Amino acid sequence: MEPDTTMSLDTCAENLNANGFETFIATTPEQAREIFFEQILPEIDVKSAAWGDSLTMHASGVPEALLKRPDIEVIRTFGDDLERAEKIRNRRQALHVDLFMAGCNAISAGGQVVNLDMIGNRVGPIAYGPHHVVLFAGRNKLTPDLPTAMERVRNVAAPSNAKRHGLATPCAKTGRCHDCSSPQRICNTWVILEKSFPPGRVKVVLIDDELGL
């Protein structure tokens, strides 16, 4: 599925703002990092932070920069040096941090933010828990409406992520959703944000580049 090139980032930002998402537009991942540290972080009280899996977010360099901040405790939920039990424990702790960051699988023209998880450690904190949520999305995540947003997640984001993680799912082999019952199925928990409540809790940084999956 190709990105919806008929919808500008400005229009998307306008619709997201109307739904209570505080929205920013960056031309590059580097500018997204500047926006985060110069406009977002100074306006929120953050003593602890965590994040979910997101190639777009990592392209901005924000997580790596936060790890160097002595004033912010980072709860690491990923890492080859972490045992599985520690990852699970940290992911539960991520529900209680001041700031949680992640990407978006898709955003509809109406300003709905769509994500789909395997175990819910990413969509859980997005929906509830952390005081502040910052989501990063490239222009390739924009879709005309909610059905096409969900279609994008099923047939673009999910197969690509399953393949990236080396999972033995049908979609990893074919690139299309089979609505499978694989033990390694990653399509288990949907979270669709219609609005941000309270307004401004969820912030979205749109990047005018094709980033992530």
pLDDT digits (tens, 9 = 90+) for 25-78: 999 999 999 999 999 999 999 999 999 999 999 999 999 999 999 999 999 999
**Percent over 90 (pLDDT), the chain:** 95
Residue 128 in any domain: the answer is yes
CA distance 204 to 213: 17
171 found inside a domain: no
Residue 182 in any domain: the answer is: no
DSSP β-bridge partners for residue 33: none
Whether 105 maps to a domain, the answer reads yes
pLDDT band at 6 (very low <50, low <70, confident <90, very high): low
Residues 104, 113: Cα–Cα separation, whole Å: 7
The pLDDT, as a whole number, for residue 168 is 96
Going by C-alpha positions, the residue among 213, 210, 203, 211 that lies closest to residue 39 is: 203
Residues in the chain: 213
Residue 166 inside a domain? The answer is no
**Structural domain that includes position 104:** 9-111+121-143+196-207
Q: Which residues contact 207 (CB under 8 A, 6 or more apart)?
A: 25, 26, 27, 28, 29, 31, 32, 56, 60, 136, 137, 138, 139
| Statement: residue 158 has pLDDT above 80 | yes
In this prediction the pTM is: 0.95
For residues 177 and 158, give the distance between their C-alpha atoms in angstroms, rounded to a whole number: 8
Q: How far is CA 41 from CA 108, 133, 134, 181, 191, in A?
A: 26, 11, 10, 41, 25
State the chain's mean pLDDT as an integer.
96
- List residues bridging with 101 in a β-sheet: 51, 134
User: Does residue 69 belong to any structural domain of this protein?
Assistant: yes
The answer to whether 61 and 30 have CB atoms below 8 angstroms apart is yes
DSSP state of 42: G
Count of domains for the chain: 1
Report pLDDT digits (tens) over 167-195: 999 999 999 999 999 999 999 999 999 99
Residue 183 inside a domain? The answer is no
Residue 77 lies in a domain: yes
Predicted confidence at residue 8, as pLDDT, reads 86
The CATH code of the domain that includes 44 is 3.40.50.10420
Question: Distance between alpha carbon 39 and the CA centroid of its chain, in Å?
Answer: 19
pLDDT surpasses 80 at 101: yes
